[in-house]
Amino acid sequence: MRYSRFFLPTVKEIPADAEVISHQLMLRAGMIRRLASGLYTHLPLGLRSLRKVESIIREEMDAAGALELLMPMVQPAELWQESGRWEKYGRELLRFTDRHDRPFCLGPTHEEVITDLVRREVRSYRDLPLVFYQIQTKFRDEIRPRFGLMRAREFLMKDAYSFDVDDEGLDRTYRAMYDAYCRIFERCGLDYRPVEADTGTIGGHASHEFMVLAETGEDSIACCTACSYASNVELAQVVSSPPPLVSPESREEARKVSTPGKRSIEEVSGFLGIPPDRIVKTLVFATDKGPVAALVRGDHEINEIKLGRFLGVEEIRLASDEEVRLAAKVSPGFVGPVGLSGVRIVADPAVLSMDGFTAGAGEEDYHIVGLVWGRDLPVPETADIRNITVHDPCPRCGGRIEIRRGIEVGHVFKLGTAYSEALGARFLDENGTEKPIIMGCYGIGVGRTLAAAIEQNHDANGIVFPRPIAPFDVIVCPLKTEDPAYIHAADDLLHALTRAGFQVLLDDRDLRPGVKFKDADLIGVPVRVTLGKLLADGIVEIRERRSGEVVMCPMVEVLERVSSLLVR
């Protein structure tokens, strides 16, 4: 490809609207352009990389026995009504009607469509197992699209769905997909971790998220430093807290203290000179089973998902100020476990080992210090309802936990029979018994994977693409374009390298060397071949983008040198 015949609008300045580095670089390198919030055009350069990620995914899915198909993006409402998600999915589902006023939506995912297909076509256990996948545009009307391709509204996704006769079959398929995902992300040059994930409201049996480790990630992951345990913080179990303290020697009387206007743990801690881990944080939640007060230590974070699951409620959210006043008869900030009647109280185990603690008094502008469980107030029921911290042990091996940020690029999920039962996708087993098909689903954000790869592979000058997803393998830069000798030599290189199977960009623009170098670095092509002053002696320069290492090389050896750089 000749640069002059290509379309590559690079930008020197950092776009003002781009927050994260991958977004900035994709804009600067001329890979993407924004059309509207969360909507991006993939320019030729970006598309080349995107297609490479796609190809890697396709190869590994095919190798794992999955079959590619392509489903419509527009889906009829009735399918979603059948699965119950027309009501449940919320406003992320973009709904509209056609000219006949029939309701449709843009597909954010395809469980309904694929299950509909399978229920029509599959009758017998002989037809199973099956894994279908597609690489297709999805639309989710995100509340807040951000970070370019990282969280777009319209985005390219590989989604796969598996159909098995029993749980053992699902386990095998799940494992095969899991392994394929590992190969895919390795080939994309990513530093990633498969982590245990929340199974969400679908209530499946198992789920893993594939997280690319990056500071800009939107998720927190708890990783063990000793074993291979890694889990989404949302899910990570907090196994042990120190046992409840029994009868310490000196116990002061609990007493009420004035704390005017001090609502947050931080304010109360600072005002009373009591560390946060001696204060109990009381948060009121509104649920479909009424208000619930949750107690955690002041330095801990409550985990709504865990709380909701423990309570067995469908809906849970932090209560509004109004709801708090109604339930606790005091405004938020002064709610405490004392004298809280008619409200279910759930405490984190760590709270029970606190002795002589401070909490809201249940009275405007007052807290109580020196509280003792069993003496001043009854011992509440306990459950693991908080987020894991670096001070907690690994739930698997007891090792030290660290919290890291991650970008979720893939998700594998054992669905079970939720959709096959709702939509009636059944088969007859070898005994002639009718059973629901056991399903799994498996997603990869293609654009997000590309963005994550850039997030992990860049330097001050731009992108440093791993070869498998680089838009070109080699960029050839003749520094004098008015000199026929340079042009001919560059052309020869272009053809020789192309014939050898490399994808080559020839920078034939009549520009100063500095400009060409900057652009070459920015777009991240792994190898640059420069034709400069020594060309007359048959010598060119070969430079590796990642290391910056430069070797001078006779023309005849270029192919060999370039190959060795790209293959390793």
Residues that bind RNA (CB under 7 A): 10-17, 19, 28, 34, 36-38, 90, 92, 108-109, 143-147, 159, 199-202, 304, 317-318, 411, 413, 441, 443, 461, 479-480, 512-515, 517-522, 530-534, 541, 543, 550
Residue number, 176 or 354, with CB nearest to RNA: 176
Q: Residue 475 Cβ, how far from RNA at the closest point, in Å?
A: 11
Residue number, 282 or 481, with CB nearest to RNA: 481
Radius of gyration of the chain (CA): 29
Residue number, 104 or 517, with CB nearest to RNA: 517
Q: What angle is formed at CA 196 by the lines to CA 194 and CA 197, rounded to 5 degrees?
A: 110
Are the beta carbons of 160 and 442 closer than 8 angstroms? yes
Q: Residue 83 Cβ, how far from RNA at the closest point, in Å?
A: 11
Are the beta carbons of 177 and 414 closer than 8 angstroms? no
* Residue 270 φ then ψ, to 5°: -65, -40
Are the beta carbons of 148 and 154 closer than 8 angstroms? no
Q: Residue 535 Cβ, how far from RNA at the closest point, in Å?
A: 7
Q: What angle is formed at CA 187 by the lines to CA 185 and CA 189, rounded to 5 degrees?
A: 75
Sheet holding 292-297, edge to edge: 316-318, 280-287, 292-297, 344-347, 381-382
The string of DSSP letters for 142-157 reads: -SS-BTGGGB-SEEEE
Q: Return d(Cα 256, Cα 274) in angstroms, integer.
A: 14
Q: Residue 255 Cβ, how far from RNA at the closest point, in Å?
A: 33
Q: Return d(Cα 38, Cα 146) in angstroms, integer.
A: 7
Q: Residue 311 Cβ, how far from RNA at the closest point, in Å?
A: 15
Residue number, 436 or 443, with CB nearest to RNA: 443
Residue number, 153 or 367, with CB nearest to RNA: 153
Q: Return d(Cα 506, Cα 494) in angstroms, integer.
A: 7
Residue number, 38 or 471, with CB nearest to RNA: 38
Strands (E), 298-417: 316-318, 344-347, 357-360, 366-371, 381-382, 401-416
Side-chain half-sphere CA neighbours of 552 within 13 A: 7
Question: What is the distance of C-alpha 113 from the center of its chain?
Answer: 24
* Residue 307 φ then ψ, to 5°: -60, -45
Q: Residue 143 Cβ, how far from RNA at the closest point, in Å?
A: 4
Q: Which two tokens stand for residue 89?
A: 């999915």
Q: Residue 453 Cβ, how far from RNA at the closest point, in Å?
A: 20
Q: Residue 303 Cβ, how far from RNA at the closest point, in Å?
A: 11
Residue number, 11 or 227, with CB nearest to RNA: 11
Residue number, 209 or 473, with CB nearest to RNA: 209
Residue number, 15 or 194, with CB nearest to RNA: 15
Q: Residue 264 Cβ, how far from RNA at the closest point, in Å?
A: 13
Sheet holding 255-258, edge to edge: 255-258, 366-371, 357-360
Are the beta carbons of 163 and 118 closer than 8 angstroms? yes
Q: Please enumerate in sequence order all residues whose Cβ is within 8 A of that of 482, keeping only pairs 6 or more positions apart, or say none.
A: 510
Residue number, 109 or 287, with CB nearest to RNA: 109
Residue number, 208 or 467, with CB nearest to RNA: 208
Q: Return d(Cα 231, Cα 178) in angstroms, integer.
A: 15
Q: Residue 309 Cβ, how far from RNA at the closest point, in Å?
A: 12
Task: Identify residue 390 by its one-letter amino acid code.
Answer: V
Residue number, 136 or 503, with CB nearest to RNA: 136
Residue number, 147 or 357, with CB nearest to RNA: 147
Give CA separation, 50 vs 189, 267, 470, 502, 544, in Å: 14, 49, 9, 17, 22
Q: Residue 28 Cβ, how far from RNA at the closest point, in Å?
A: 6
Q: Residue 202 Cβ, how far from RNA at the closest point, in Å?
A: 4
Q: Residue 509 Cβ, how far from RNA at the closest point, in Å?
A: 9
Residue number, 60 or 519, with CB nearest to RNA: 519
Are the beta carbons of 192 and 457 closer than 8 angstroms? no
Q: Please enumerate in sequence order all residues whose Cβ is within 8 A of that of 293, keeping only pairs 6 or more positions apart, or say none.
A: 282, 283, 284, 285, 327, 328, 335, 337, 340, 343, 344, 345, 346
Q: Return d(Cα 232, Cα 404) in angstroms, integer.
A: 10
Q: Residue 45 Cβ, how far from RNA at the closest point, in Å?
A: 14
Short-list 552, 546, 565, CA closest to 461: 546
